[in-house]
């Protein structure tokens, strides 16, 4: 699944909910054969919906995957 479609939502025991938590997480794009490509940047996250849609279509057509790595303090 492409990095642009994967997110992490966090909710604590008091009900505080964070959608698309980024914090100390790093998403690295992977090619269809498992080769690591470039990490996702903050600038890529703030593009128009049309740009994002077109990028997701390209990633799906290329067979890209995502390595989602990091830590979360609980």
| Encoded tokens for 10 | 């966090």
Pair 70, 23: CB distance under 8 Å: yes
Q: What parts of the chain have a pLDDT lower than 70?
A: 20-23, 74
Please give the pLDDT value at position 64: 95
Please give the pLDDT value at position 34: 92
Please give the pLDDT value at position 9: 81
CA 29/CA 57 separation, integer angstroms? 14
Which pTM value belongs to this model?
A: 0.72
Please give the pLDDT value at position 53: 93
Task: Give residue limits of the domains in the chain.
Answer: 3-70
| Encoded tokens for 53 | 């849609």
Please give the pLDDT value at position 60: 95
**What are the angstrom distances between the C-alpha of 42 and each of 13, 27, 62, 74?**
29, 11, 22, 24
Please give the pLDDT value at position 13: 78
Please give the pLDDT value at position 21: 67
Q: What share of the chain is helix, strand, coil (3-state, %, to 5)?
A: 30, 25, 45
């Amino acid at each position: 699944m492409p990095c642009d479609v994967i997110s992490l939502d966090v909710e604590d025991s008091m009900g505080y909910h964070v959608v698309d938590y980024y914090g100390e997480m790093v998403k690295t794009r992977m090619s269809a054969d498992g080769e690591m490509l470039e990490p996702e940047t903050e600038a890529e996250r703030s593009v128009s919906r049309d740009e994002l849609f077109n990028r997701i279509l390209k990633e799906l057509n290329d067979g890209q995957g995502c390595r989602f790595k990091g830590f979360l303090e609980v």
